[in-house]
Structure 1
Amino acid sequence: MVTSLATRAVIPANTAKSLGAARARNGVGISETMMDFRALFTAANQSLDIDALQSLAEGWAEAAESAPPISCTDVYTGLATKAHFQRRIHEVSGFAAGCQGAYALAVISMPGLRGSRSHCWTQLALLGDAVKGQLRGTGATAMYQDSAVHVLFPVGEENVSRMVQCKVALEAVGEGALAPVRIAFYPLASDAVPVSTAKPPVVSFFESN
């Protein structure tokens, strides 16, 4: 694509179509695909090639129709996968200055396990059921990673209360097998917040033990 921009007056239709198809196969949405395509022309200081944009969209649509669905659910917990959770953070971060309302991140931490970075599959299944049961109807997205449940949720008094109830529910799983459980809340920055494998964000506005 870059070579075409540098050496041709127009982008070949098959080149743009191939790019669109590749983006679809890798799980990139049509909106992000088109935005990136526009950004390429902006970076090259050239006017957008409308015909090439159409070919890009056609390639994306054709590949998306035939591509197998990409799962956004973790098979062990039934919660969101890391990739889906990160995408949700990216999406809501883009709404931070609009009328969508504020979001926050809750990190519900359980004791780490010696020699393992995860609980056994039976505990993960029970953990997932407990989290989904408590967060139903909150508009929250939850993910399990490294002995902690990360929850992205719309800020509100009721939702904060439900997060605390989720902590209590986890403490009851397996007759206290996951206890002690700690919860901390963090405001969502205006830019995307990466999911860390080491520790949660550093700015806390509420913590409960």
Structure 2
Amino acid sequence: MTDFRALFDAAERDLDVDALQSLAEGWAEGAEALPPISCTDVYTGLATTAHFQRHLHELVEGSPGAAARHALAIIGFTGELEGRRPAWTLLVRLGAVVQGQLLGTGAMATYRASAIHIVFRVCEANLLRLAQCKAAVEMLDGCPLGSARMTLHPLEEGPISAGNWPELP
């Protein structure tokens, strides 16, 4: 608005309130059309890798004891995609299943390197939900990812950081 006012000052004209209103309306309409700033992967609906890494970093480097109460679960797949990325339709379904299974747990998940990575607060209920999530992912119709295996990595036991979390064996 300051620049708009300066434009009228430079042109030695009085501020046109109707022009100002038109500018504001156009700005608002344009902003509505922009995609929201998000930390969500557009295919899976899960966290982006960068957002997930940031969350891991905050847990490991954050308040004392936070990492000790959390773990990283990796649900990896045995199926072969021959170096290809899964079809976007499969990623959408995969993300929906994971979100549905983890709803209300406070867990954060991302998909990377043919695996679902989940950081979660360790408790019996969440461990049960992780097992159910693994089973639900394996049940996806027409899923070329194959069977799944899950590994757990306590955050307190090693140098898991933003860019350094375990890969599947």
How high is the TM-score relative to the length of structure 2? 0.69
Distance 1:98 1:194, change over 3 A: closer
Q: Does 1:74 align with 2:44?
A: no
Unaligned ranges ≥5, structure 2: 1-34
Q: Which runs of 5+ in 1 are unaligned?
A: 1-67, 203-209
1:125 pairs with 2:83: no
Q: Which residue is equivalent to 2:57?
A: 90
Q: Deviations over 1:62-120 (max 9, x none)?
A: xxxxxx9642000000000000000000111134624686100000011241031x211
The percent of aligned pairs where both chains have the same amino acid is 45
1:193 and 2:137 aligned? no
Matches within 5 A, 1:47-196: 70-95=37-62, 97-98=64-65, 102-110=69-77, 111-116=79-84, 118-189=85-156, 192-195=160-163
The AA in structure 2 aligned to 1:113 is L
Q: Is the 8 A contact 2:75 2:115 kept in 1?
A: yes
Amino acid at match of 1:179: G
Q: Larger Cα Rg: Structure 1 or Structure 2?
A: 2
Which residue does 2:19 correspond to in 1?
none
- The total of aligned residue pairs comes to 133
Does the Cα contact within 8 Å between 2:71 and 2:119 map onto a contact in 1?
Answer: yes
Q: Which portions of structure 1, spanning 4 or more consecutive aligned residues, are displaced by more than 2 angstroms?
A: 94-101, 175-179, 189-198
- Counterparts of 1:193 and 1:100 in 2: how far apart (Å)? 11
Q: Distance in 2 between matches of 1:146 and 1:84?
A: 16
- Larger RCO: 1 or 2 (CA < 8 Å, sep 6+): 2
Alpha-carbon offset, residue 164 of structure 1: 0.7
- Give me the TM-score of the superposition, normalised by structure 1: 0.57
Letter in 1 for 2:98: V
